[in-house]
Amino acid sequence: MSAQAPGGEMVLRVENLVLEYPLPRQSLFAPAPRHRALDGVSLQVARGESLAVVGESGSGKSSLARAVLALEQPGAGRVELMGQDVFALSPGALRGLRRHAQMVFQDPYGSLDPRRKVGWIVAEPLDALESGVGAAARQARIAEVLVSVGLKARDAEKFPHEFSGGQRQRIAIARALITHPALIIADEPVSALDVSVQAQVLNLFMDLRERLGLSYLFISHDLAVVRHVADRVAVMRHGQIVEEGAVEQVFREPQHPYTRKLLAAVPRVGHPRQAVAGATTAP
């Protein structure tokens, strides 16, 4: 299957996405209430582009990430990955498409199986999504992605507990890269890391984007973090995008009161958090 988007096309297109979760019934006879986590979300990510989605906890960011990967079934709306409607595909075709969009999660401790060696962990998406990769090619792919995130090929033989938090997030990123995706969906990928380590991992994201031409859907509750990794930012509140624009534009002239409130929480220059987001040199 050719899932390549022709040059300049959208790797991700989300239209009017609605996602509701059932809530516990109040009584046996009452209809089950529902919580609307996504309330008509539309966005697009072009090839090579980095779109940040920011919003407070509970605004629906992770629900959006899961729905984009067809891990949640929306009540309405459409998701096109590489030009293909993810909810119209057969399971096999969806598996084929998943190679092109990989996820990086917040928690570098919880997302790596402690009983598995790093090589196994990193190769898992490859093993699950690409059949017929020979042993030698598989080893080469593991080494390639470990080196590309600043680790060593021989780290494949170690276990996650032998690495620091920042290194573990590098392992998670290597795992996301192994299928050579066009889009990385990163859900709060630095939120669990120390401030000094955040800068290094953000730099890695920027460096990989430049080297590999990746697109990002970069999710964060922290506007300071997205400033230097995103071209555009979509501000999410109660399952809706209340504002969207070029990052610098939104920082300079926020239109929505909610965006201004988020910006007011961003520390000023000189604060350590600002230094993190401002550190754009290679680690």
Q: Give the residues lining the site for ligand ADP (CB under 6 A).
A: 21, 35, 37, 55, 57-63
Q: At its nearest, how many Å lie between ligand ADP and the CB of residue 259? A: 15
Look at residue 37 and give the partner it binds from ligand ADP, Mg ion, none, a contact being a CB closer than 5 to 8 Å depending on partner kind. Answer: ligand ADP
Give me the least distance between CB of 103 and ligand ADP, in Å please: 13
* Helix axes 165-177 and 135-148, enclosed angle (nearest 10): 130
- Specify the DSSP element, H or E, that contains 20: strand 10-22
Binding flags for Mg ion, 31-70, as an x/- string (CB under 5 A): ------------------------------xx--------
114 C-beta neighbours (distance < 10 Å), count: 10
Of the two residues 61 and 232, which places its CB atom closer to Mg ion in the complex? 61
Helices vs strands, H then E, count in the chain: 10, 10
Nearest residue (CB) to Mg ion, 61 versus 100:
61
Window 112-141: residues binding Mg ion (CB under 5 A): none
Q: Which residues of 55-73 are buried (b: 16+ CB within 10 A; e: fewer)?
A: beeebbbbbbbbbbbbebe
Smallest gap from residue 9 Cβ to ligand ADP (A): 27
Task: Tell me how far apart the alpha carbons of residues 251 and 235 are, in angstroms, rounded to a whole number.
Answer: 11
- Nearest C-alpha neighbor of 258 from the set 244, 237, 239: 237
CB of 144 to ligand ADP, least distance (A): 32
Examine residue 111 and tell whether it contacts Mg ion (CB under 5 A).
no
Residues that bind Mg ion (CB under 5 A): 61-62
